[in-house]
Amino acid sequence: MAGRIRPCDKDIFFLVLQHILLHHIAQIGIVIAYIAEAESRKRKRGTAVPKYGMICRMPDQIKHLDRMIGYTDIDCISNLRMDRSTFGRLCQILRVRGGLVNGNYVTVEEQVAIFLSMLAHHKKNRVVRFDFWRSGQTISHYIHAVLEAIIRLHDIFLVKPEAVTDECTDTRWKWFKGCLGALDGTYINVTVSNSDKPRYRTRKGQISTNVLGVCDQNLNFVYVLSGWKGSANDCRILRDALNIPHGLKVPKGKYYLYDNGYANSEGFLTPFKGVRYHLREWGPNSARPQNKEELFNLRHAKARNVIERAFGIMKMRWGILRSTTFYPIKVQNRLIMATFLINNFIRKQMAVDPIEEQYDSMVQDGDVEVEPPNFIDNVETSPHWNTARDTLAKGMWQQYITSA
C-alpha cells in the first residue's frame, strides 16, 4: 500500500538517520574540543575572558574617560568645554565643597565628565549611556547628583561686581563712573506641557523661558534668574529679581546699563529714545554723533554690548542652550543655572578661552562693609535719574567737541 514503509526500507531509513546523527555528534565534539583547548591556552597565558558584567566593561569605561581628559587639552576642550587643569579643579571643588563622592564603580571625575558632556553637546540619556558604557539609570542618577552639587556652590561661582572708578582707562567704561556692569534678558527654548505653552510662548511664537542675566565688565555673571515664562515682560522680571530673597542687589549710587526695554530709573541707565543706538547703526559709513544724545547712545551701546557677548559665548559653549530638552521644567531651569555657573568658573580658571575667541572672530566676520548697604528695591521712572542721565551726556558732549 502506498505511504507505508516496508521492513527493508525501515532498515535503510534507520541506517541513514544513524549516520547523520553520528556525523553531527562528531562535529559538535570537534567544536567543544576546540573551545576547551582555546580556553586552556588563555588560562595558561593568564588572559582568560571573564563572564560579561561590570568588571568586564570597566576597561572600556576607563579608556573612554582617558581619551577625553587624559591625553590632550584639545580633546578635553572639545568634549567638556574646558582644559584638563580646569576640569581637575572643578572635580576637586565639587568633591571638597559640593559634597560629591565616588560611587561604587563611578568616580567623581567620570560623574562630572558625564554631566559636562551632556551640557556641551546636548546628548540624550541613551547616547551618553552608550558613550560611557553605563546604564541609563546610572547616567540619570549622576547627572542629578552633579547638578545638585553645582547649584549648591552658586555663591562661589557667581562673582561680585566692582564699580567703574575714576582711574578707569577702558575706553568703553571710563565714561560711566559707578557702573557695575550690564543686564538683559535672553530666551532659551524649553519643553513644557500643552496647558503651559501659551504662558511660555514668546512674541516670536517660540516656547521659551525668559532668563535675566547680569554681568560685570569682564563678561562674568553676577546674577542669573531663570524660570519666568517667555511671555513675561522684562521689567516685571527685573522687579521680581530686586524683591525676592537673595535677589539682585544694586547699592545706592551704583547702576547697571540696560536697553530701552526697561525704564530709566535709579540704579538702571537706559539710552535716549528716538535716537540711533545699536552698534550696527554706527558703521564706517555712518555720520559721526551730531549731538549729546547720539554720543551718549553710542558709548552706552559699546559698553552694554558686554551682556550680548556674554550670552553669545554661553550659547556657543553649551549646546543644551540652543535646543529644547525633555527634562521637567524645574530641572531645565536648574540646568540653565548650572551652565552660567560653570561658565564663570571656566573664565576664571582658563587664561585663554577658545570658545570666546571663536565667538569674537565670528562676530567680526559677520560684524568689607561696616553696616548693610542701602539697596534699590523698585524700578520706576525717576525725573531725578533722567536729569542725571542728561548731565552725564552733556559732560560727554562738552569733552567730545573740545577734543575734536
The whole-number pLDDT of residue 363 equals: 72
The whole-number pLDDT of residue 368 equals: 45
Grouping H, G, I as helix, E, B as strand and the rest as coil, residue 292 is helix
> Of the candidates 74, 66, 89, 151, which has an alpha carbon nearest to the alpha carbon of residue 345?
89
Distance CA 34, CA 28 (A): 10
The whole-number pLDDT of residue 384 equals: 80
Secondary structure element (H or E) that encloses residue 269, with its range: strand 268-269
Q: How far, rounded to the nearest angstrom, does the alpha carbon of residue 165 sit from its chain's CA centroid?
A: 32
> Of the candidates 212, 328, 108, 157, which has an alpha carbon nearest to the alpha carbon of residue 116?
108
Q: Delimit the domains of the chain by residue range.
A: 54-152, 179-365+372-403
Grouping H, G, I as helix, E, B as strand and the rest as coil, residue 5 is coil
DSSP designation for 279: G
Measure the CA angle with vertex 114, ends 93 and 356; round to 5°.
70
E strands present in 149-262 = 179-189, 208-215, 221-229, 255-257
Q: What is the DSSP string of 79-115?
A: HHSS-HHHHHHHHHHHHHTS-----SS--HHHHHHHH
The whole-number pLDDT of residue 357 equals: 87
The whole-number pLDDT of residue 52 equals: 44
The whole-number pLDDT of residue 10 equals: 56
Q: Are 208 and 232 in contact (CB under 8 A)?
A: no
- Give, in order, the Cα–Cα distances in Å from 169 to each of 29, 173, 176: 88, 8, 11
Burial 252-284 (b: 16+ CB within 10 A, else e): eebbbbbbeebebbbbbbbbbeebbbeeeebee
The whole-number pLDDT of residue 365 equals: 56
Distance CA 245, CA 366 (A): 41
Nearby residues of 64 by Cβ (< 8 Å), 6 or more positions away: 131, 132, 133
Using one digit for the tens of pLDDT, what is the confidence trace for 279-338?
A: 776 666 567 788 898 899 889 999 999 999 999 999 999 999 998 888 999 999 999 999
Question: What is the spatial order of strands in the sheet that 179-189 belongs to?
Answer: 221-229, 208-215, 179-189, 255-257, 268-269
The whole-number pLDDT of residue 369 equals: 42
Q: Are 287 and 200 in contact (CB under 8 A)?
A: no
Distance CA 51, CA 130 (A): 20
DSSP bridge partners of 257: 182, 269
Please state whether 296 falls in left (phi above 0), alpha (psi between -120 and 50) or beta. Answer: alpha
Cell numbers representing residue 4 in the block: 507505508
Question: What phi and psi values does residue 132 have, to the nearest 5 degrees?
Answer: -100, 5
Alpha helices in 70-218 (DSSP H): 73-80, 84-96, 108-121, 125-132, 136-152, 154-157, 197-200
Distance CA 247, CA 240 (A): 8
The whole-number pLDDT of residue 23 equals: 52
Using one digit for the tens of pLDDT, what is the confidence trace for 60-100?
A: 677 777 777 777 888 889 889 999 999 999 999 999 999 99
Q: What is the pTM of this model?
A: 0.78
Q: Are 315 and 176 in contact (CB under 8 A)?
A: no
Question: What phi and psi values does residue 155 have, to the nearest 5 degrees?
Answer: -65, -25
Pick out the chain residues at pLDDT < 50.
Answer: 1-3, 5, 47, 49-50, 52, 54-55, 367-372
The whole-number pLDDT of residue 71 equals: 78
